[in-house]
Structure 1
Amino acid sequence: MSPARAVAEFARFLRTETTGGLILLAATAVALVWANSPLAPAYEALRDFRLGPEFLHLNLALGDWAKDGLLALFFFVAGLELKRELVVGELSRWRQAVLPVIAAIGGMVVPAALALSIAWGTPEVDSAWAIPVATDIAFALGVLALTASNLPSSARVFLLSLAVVDDLGAILVIAILFTSSFNLIAAAIAAVALGLYAFLQHKRVRTPWLYVPLALITWVAVHSAGIHATIAGVALGLLTRVREDEGEEESPAVRLEHRLQPWSAAVAVPVFALFAAGISVNGDALSTVFTTALPLAVLIGLVAGKFVGIFGASLLAVKLRVAEKPSGMSWRDVAALSVLGGVGFTVSLLIAELALPGEAAEVAKAAVLIASAIASLTAAVLLLRRSRVHAKAA
């Protein structure tokens, strides 16, 4: 892949995710207004309306179809992006990859440790500690694009690479923590379908008439196996070929990203947010967030834990000469991006729904929304100031 083409691909990805972030924000606003209006019963009835056959446990509520089905598309695109970054992108070169990788690990470990220490002793803490580990790539890139036009391009590369590694960590958490009763036969069917998908990729087969049914079989088998169905999307993305052959205009991974990225950013994630973000917001709910250990752990984990983890790990890695600071960026730039890492949203909401029952999940989701708002607004102010500094220097 030529440098010019790689830059064009990266710019296209940023534009799509920025647009997706704005649509995601609109869907969240609609959900909050709808769920707190006189039409709230209609919202709950729509979210809980069941659809699908009982066979293979597919009689799901619409909210579950969004969580298990539509988010599989989001994670498939994330898997494609991760595979491309690992093979031909920023994460394929050690010197460029090591800092965002270390920063992402710090940005997962510190929030989890903070959440565990604050909520220690509460019944749900054994899995709820995972809620603040994720950074929402669409929101984060959207805020960055709107507020930091004069920052060096290395800032966007750092944030994107960090978010990709962060997504991988969140995927592993979901796979390990939220695999319920394991169905060996369904898992075997999923493994065979994935193996056939990989074989067809190796043989350069291009027809969607084989890949679409294989993808559906994989999703159903993973869901029936007791593994969270979004893992099917990640697995398929990671098995997709990212290097184009001689005479091939673009690789399958790039072609699929072109076609599916808009659907993921403009449909899959916003519809999930529409059903996930519709929580009751009143004085009692807000006071619960700030006075109860578990939601407070989520809030502090995202706002403070992400900043300390990302910035602290980055500073330590550079001081120990394990990694290099991104070119053109100061430590204040890194600090502003670290604050932006506290925008959890999509994956944090998903983990909250998977980890907690009923009312506890609603309160935890309220904490995620408040934390994401605090992090995004604080980061926006800091990034605007840093952008003006870079503009004056230029």
Structure 2
Amino acid sequence: MRKRHFIIAGKTASMDQWGSLMMIGACGVALLWANTPLRPFYDLVHHTPLSISLGGFSLEKPLVVWVNEGLMAFFFLAVALEIKREILEGHLSAQRQIFLPAFAALGGMVVPATLYLLINGNNPEFSRGWPIPTATDIALSLGVLSLFGRRVPVELKLFLASLAIFDDLGGILIIVLLHGGHLSLNVLAVTVLGLVTLFFLNRFDVTHASLYIVIGIFLWAAFQDSGIHPTLAGLMVGAALPLRLHKDGVYVPLHFVERGLHPWVTFFIVPLFAFFNTGIVLADFTFSQLLVMPSLGIVAGLVVGKPLGIFSFAWLAHMSGIARLGSHVTWRLVFGVALLGGIGFTMALFLNALAFPHNGNPETGRMAVLIGSLLSAVIGSVWLHVHLPAKQSEDQSDELPAERMGQPEMTDGEITNGETT
């Protein structure tokens, strides 16, 4: 069974690596397209209006907004499903395995945000971009780490993956707190009705995942023009989908939706988001712009703040006795992973679009995210190449456990049953 367990994990890891390559390719295509005489066609695709009408309800937005607010709702649904599964039955369900990555993730958000505010805090317009350097892209960071193959201890992979999950949870809280909007009575009533419906669907063991999705679409439509970012609808659905059932059976809605959604998010939604958000005109950008606000704060937060925050908070957790390093992990390797934590990309680009939604300087922020992520990837790779052991220990597997890589652990024909959550 363990062998099958690792085969599943390997397939999922390979899927994420190919997805990372597609995302990088989409960035390259967007940059190339935006810096050739074909730029007007990129703008045409970018701003093409798309409308949906149903009865008296009508919604028209540019294509880029449909991607950032519509498709990304499914991205956050996938993130919420992974966080819930990991906390309830995955690697993070054991308390002793939570504290080190949790403290590291906290430091990886507090320190870069503080560094950003030290640089940009005097400018009210730029200061709202402090969440941008707090993000870690789990797919790209794990993809870079996987390039070292069997040299990487499995505990180090688990540390980075768990760190990125807590980082995503922090990003979600930032979005909820800063972009939750001001509810009108009508929107408040609709939101409460949707949440109550999701709660009772969960409590009464309703297993039809389509019902949860329909409620999520209903909430997404209600959030339009309300001040609440529509992607929060995906988070609500992810939190409500049941993971365990009272009755016997192999169908678990959370597992079913996560498996079905993962390829779409990996190979379609994230690359498309990257394509629509990285078409930067390089002729309008100079290196000196990285040395001024807010770009300097973003790059410094990702390249300097992230590793310092992750490493220092993990070290403090260890020294205080709250957490311990794995037997095959050294502090030099932790610092290498902390450097990779500065690969922000997907979530950082999304937070940049939220912080600078109009013409403030979203393009400068996007370039800063790209450069900061690239520098973090290069510096982290060089550091790990120097400090990783020449060969992995014999008792270490070269694959992550299946539940950590996006696949719940399964036995032949059965799934653990328990209370609905």
What range describes the TM-score normalised by the shorter chain of this pair? over 0.9
2:311 matched to which residue of 1?
311
2:90 matched to which residue of 1?
89
SS in structure 1 opposite 2:15?
A: helix
* In 1: Cα distance, 2:336 partner to 2:164 partner: 15
354-363 or 344-353, larger mean C-alpha shift: 354-363
Q: Are 2:36 and 1:37 equivalent residues in the alignment?
A: yes
Unaligned residue ranges in structure 2 (runs of 5+)? 396-421
* In 1: Cα distance, 2:263 partner to 2:240 partner: 21
* In 1: Cα distance, 2:58 partner to 2:306 partner: 37
* In 2: Cα distance, 1:243 partner to 1:289 partner: 51
Alignment CA distance shift 1:96-1:183 (3 Å)? same
2:17 matched to which residue of 1?
18
2:372 matched to which residue of 1?
371
Q: Are 2:141 and 1:140 equivalent residues in the alignment?
A: yes
Deviations 1:186-239 (A, max 9, x none): 232133223222322332323355333222112212334321111111121111
- Alpha-carbon distance, 1:182 to partner: 2.8
2:416 matched to which residue of 1?
none
2:61 matched to which residue of 1?
60
* In 1: Cα distance, 2:92 partner to 2:8 partner: 15
- Alpha-carbon distance, 1:245 to partner: 5.0
Deviations 1:297-350 (A, max 9, x none): 100001100000001111111111111112311111111100000001111111
* In 2: Cα distance, 1:139 partner to 1:100 partner: 18
* In 2: Cα distance, 1:10 partner to 1:281 partner: 39
2:103 matched to which residue of 1?
102
312-321 or 6-15, larger mean C-alpha shift: 6-15
Deviations 1:82-138 (A, max 9, x none): 001111112222110010000000000000000000112223233111110111111
SS in structure 2 opposite 1:225?
A: coil
Q: Is the 8 Å Cα contact of residues 209 and 253 (structure 2) preserved in structure 1?
A: no
2:406 matched to which residue of 1?
none
Identity of aligned residues (%): 36
Greater helix share, structure number: 1
* In 2: Cα distance, 1:183 partner to 1:42 partner: 39
Alignment CA distance shift 1:29-1:245 (3 Å)? farther
1:47 matched to which residue of 2?
46
Alignment CA distance shift 1:329-1:63 (3 Å)? same
1:186 matched to which residue of 2?
187
74-83 or 186-195, larger mean C-alpha shift: 186-195
2:159 matched to which residue of 1?
158
Alignment CA distance shift 1:393-1:252 (3 Å)? closer
Q: Is the 8 Å Cα contact of residues 152 and 388 (structure 2) preserved in structure 1?
A: yes
Q: What amino acid maps onto 1:45 in structure 2? A: L
Q: What amino acid maps onto 1:306 in structure 2? A: K
Alignment CA distance shift 1:23-1:84 (3 Å)? same
Q: Is the 8 Å Cα contact of residues 48 and 62 (structure 1) preserved in structure 2?
A: yes
* In 1: Cα distance, 2:374 partner to 2:246 partner: 44
2:300 matched to which residue of 1?
300
Q: What amino acid maps onto 1:231 in structure 2? A: L
* In 2: Cα distance, 1:7 partner to 1:293 partner: 46
Q: Is the 8 Å Cα contact of residues 111 and 305 (structure 1) preserved in structure 2?
A: yes
Deviations 1:35-79 (A, max 9, x none): 111111111111111112487673111111111111111110100
Alignment CA distance shift 1:312-1:30 (3 Å)? same
1:354 matched to which residue of 2?
354
* In 2: Cα distance, 1:56 partner to 1:348 partner: 32
Q: What amino acid maps onto 2:16 in structure 1? A: E
- Alpha-carbon distance, 1:391 to partner: 4.0
2:330 matched to which residue of 1?
330
Q: What amino acid maps onto 2:13 in structure 1? A: L
Unaligned residue ranges in structure 1 (runs of 5+)? none
Alignment CA distance shift 1:12-1:98 (3 Å)? farther
Q: Is the 8 Å Cα contact of residues 180 and 226 (structure 1) preserved in structure 2?
A: yes
2:342 matched to which residue of 1?
342
363-372 or 321-330, larger mean C-alpha shift: 321-330
* In 1: Cα distance, 2:95 partner to 2:210 partner: 38
- Alpha-carbon distance, 1:9 to partner: 6.4
Deviations 1:215-273 (A, max 9, x none): 21122123343211111111211111122555322522111111100001111111111
**Aligned 1:119-138 pairs, distance under 5 A:** 119-138=120-139
78-87 or 226-235, larger mean C-alpha shift: 226-235
Q: What amino acid maps onto 1:113 in structure 2? A: T
314-323 or 10-19, larger mean C-alpha shift: 10-19
* In 2: Cα distance, 1:244 partner to 1:16 partner: 29
Q: Is the 8 Å Cα contact of residues 128 and 355 (structure 2) preserved in structure 1?
A: yes
Q: What amino acid maps onto 2:19 in structure 1? A: G
Q: What amino acid maps onto 1:60 in structure 2? A: K
SS in structure 1 opposite 2:270?
A: helix
Alignment CA distance shift 1:391-1:94 (3 Å)? closer
